[in-house]
Chains A and B, each alone.
Chain A
Amino acid sequence: MNFLDLAPLAVVLPIIGAGAAFLARQQVKTQRLITIGILCLTLSLEAGMVAAVWGGESYAIHIGGWESPFGISLMVDGFSSFMLLISTLVSLAVLLFATSQGLADGDEPGPVSVFHPAYLILLAGVSNAFLAADLFNLYVGFEILLTASYVLLTLGGTAERIRAGTTYVVVSVVSSVIFLMSIAMIYAATGTVNMADLAVKLPELDQGPQLILHVMLLIAFGIKAAVFPLSLWLPDSYPTAPAPVTAVFAGLLTKVGVYAIVRTETLLFPGGEVSAGLMAVAALTMVIGILGALAQTDFKRMLSFTLTSHIGYLIFGVAIGSPLAIAATIYYVGHHIIVQTSLFMVAGLIERRAGSSNVTKLGSLVKLSPALSILFFIPAINLGGIPPFSGFLGKFGLLHAAVQNAGPLTWVVVGAGLLTSLLTLMAIIRVWARVFWRRAADAEVPNQELVDQAASVAIENAAGGAQNPALGLKLAKELEAESLPWGMRYSTASLVIAGIALTVFAGPIFEFCERVAAELIAREPYITAILPL
């Protein structure tokens, strides 16, 4: 009995929890306890899994004892367990954020009590997609997480959310249909859907059919990962959802698509036939996404655009395909999940503190909400790629891998990457300058409450004078504590700290990513772990 045999619990535990949470839908406290308990349990299980595969092992689990390629297999290797750990960590932080928000608002059992079960189902779907070792199981994982996400996105059923939800559901269904079509065609061509088996059999096909199957899979995953030109649904649908939902979607859902793309490119179609196309797409994703971000006045919409923009870096890494590039991509995925989620949580905090996430209405927050400013500032410059943060390290790794054997196209994409990084910084600084730095009275649409609060803090400061300089700060902290429950602040802070930890422990983590990348590119460990020889 190997410890890794427990891996299916990463999927099963959330599903059991969802059932229990649904049964307890009238008791909000029990429901909360169940959800948090289940996530803590899953998190510790996955931490154990990462520790078990830290040295670079691959371990396959055959569900029900059916031998591959006939039964359903799950794959625990460095890549899947790393993604599992990060995704559960992020969902736990967001759950605590949502719980604290609910506690503060005194939520009562009602239609919204479906949040906890749907949230756990979402996590089960994400875990299933990461662990799946056959394409159809991957499809099922996608469908589980998508169906849960439909519910979460339209929570409450307001007109705005229904409108956004419709676009989201239709686009997701179409991407699933394309994925299912490619599975059918792959099965017709090879007679298997097991990924290890496919890795052996797909190269035996003719070039033409291979290319069609390859591109169809990439289109299906590209929609889910929000790669340009298939990304425009994302900024349209994410920002209207409740803050915790947007935060967890931004962190996890697109990355499941990226994960699938990395698996496709490294395991199923390792030749790099479409890498030129991927590079072009990566450059467009980065530049167009970030230009969209610059045009926004709503902070959440701006974040959604930076989210799609930075997917471009990940695609770029996949397109280069060298061990260093793949390692940097994996590291960057981890960084991006944590940073984007924490920024969306900060957006939720700003909205709660100041009543709006529209930057034209905000100001003075650095004086009014010092803790919030710090929580915004660290992940923001991390996203902008300022050294020494993980965003810089990931981008540096990618660009370093890119220039090692660069052709003209690669140099263009490197330029696009640097430009995007600069423009991200600009977008972030504009938000900082407006929301935090300027006076609330200078806003285009001044918010009277903020203006009054800023004035009273200024008066306190003046009253304190030289003897008591922290008087204004004290008032600001009181005001902050009043509007932002400690649970929301601390859950955001814990994720910000996780982002910093990714920087501090960059050495061992990047070495781990390099081992994982070497395994992915070798393909041999994956195939031999699943197929009996």
Chain B
Amino acid sequence: MSVNITFLVITGVLLACGFYLVLERTLTRVLLGIMLLGNGVNLLILTTGGRRGVAPLFQSGLDPEEYSDPLPQALILTAIVITFAVTAFLLAMIYRSWTLTSADELADDTEDIKVSQKTAYDEEEDSPVAEDTTEFVDEEGRPVREGEE
């Protein structure tokens, strides 16, 4: 199978830029990165089809070797549609995020921060145990200890 080296280089550049942008915190850049990734992969699939050929529509008398491989094209078509849907969804989500927080940045998880700031001291487990831990109460709600009436 012959491979088009230009395509491969472009694929590499697109994927590298895409992954770099995805690592950003700014959501629009992440979106751009995802679009680049999608295009990069589509190009990669296209190169797997091998050399150029005649459109894969049956013509009598034509050698099968002459056709180009239709499968990668079908795969790309599916992949494009999926990327399109995901991009549209992300765009809507970014807009929503911008409306809610008026920032284009991904915020930290508040619960994560709480957990990371916790000290080794655990109130429930390390605090001194109160002497009176009975669950039995008398009529007025006072705890009843052993030996008392």
Contact = CB atoms under 8 A, between A and B. Distances in A.
B141 A459 contact: yes
B93 A162 contact: yes
A167 B48 contact: no
Contacts of A151: 89
Interface in A422-462: 434, 438-439, 444, 455, 458-459, 462
B129 to A, nearest CB: 11
23 contacts: A140-B82, A157-B96, A159-B101, A162-B93, A162-B96, A162-B97, A164-B109, A166-B27, A166-B97, A167-B106, A169-B90, A173-B90, A174-B19, A174-B37, A177-B41, A181-B44, A183-B45, A184-B47, A184-B48, A185-B44, A459-B141, A462-B137, A462-B138
Given A165-B93, A166-B27, A180-B79, A455 B22 contact: no
A188 B18 CA distance: 22
B71 A154 contact: no
Interface in B85-142: 85-86, 89-90, 93-94, 96-97, 100-101, 106-107, 109, 111-112, 114-115, 118, 123-124, 135, 137-139, 141
A458 B137 contact: yes
Interface of B: 1, 15, 18-19, 22, 27, 30, 34, 37-38, 41, 44-45, 47-48, 71-72, 75, 78-79, 82, 85-86, 89-90, 93-94, 96-97, 100-101, 106-107, 109, 111-112, 114-115, 118, 123-124, 135, 137-139, 141
Nearest to B98: A162
Contacts of B45: 180, 183-184, 187
A142 to B, nearest CB: 10
Contact of A434 (B47, B94, B96, B124): B124
A157 B94 CA distance: 11
Contacts of A276: none
Contacts of B82: 140, 143, 147, 176
Interface of B is mostly: helix
Contacts of B27: 166
A518 to B, nearest CB: 34
Interface stretch (A44-52, A250-258, A290-298, A379-387): A290-298
Interface of A: 136, 140, 143, 147, 150-151, 154, 157-159, 162-167, 169-170, 173-174, 176-177, 180-181, 183-185, 187-188, 193, 236, 239, 295-298, 301, 434, 438-439, 444, 455, 458-459, 462
A523 B105 CA distance: 49
Contacts of A173: 34, 37, 86, 90
A124 to B, nearest CB: 15
A295 B115 CA distance: 7
Contacts of B139: 462
Contact of B30 (A170, A193, A434): A170
A396 B44 CA distance: 45
B78 A159 contact: no
A319 to B, nearest CB: 28
A166 B93 contact: yes
B38 A177 contact: yes
A87 B42 CA distance: 32
B137 A169 contact: no
Closest 8 CB pairs of A and B: A188-B48, A184-B45, A159-B100, A184-B44, A177-B37, A162-B97, A180-B41, A143-B82
Contacts of B22: 170, 174
Nearest to A144: B82
B137 to A, nearest CB: 6
A222 to B, nearest CB: 17
Contact of B41 (A166, A184, A301): A184
A158 B135 CA distance: 41
Contacts of B38: 177
A187 B72 contact: yes
A27 B92 CA distance: 26
Given A180-B41, A184-B45, A170 B34 contact: yes
A166 B106 contact: yes
A188 B111 CA distance: 45
A494 to B, nearest CB: 31
Given A162-B93, A170-B22, A180-B41, A236 B100 contact: no
A163 B109 contact: yes
Nearest to B115: A295
Nearest to A172: B86
Given A181-B44, A183-B45, 9 more contacts: A147-B82, A157-B96, A159-B97, A173-B90, A181-B41, A187-B71, A187-B72, A187-B75, A444-B124
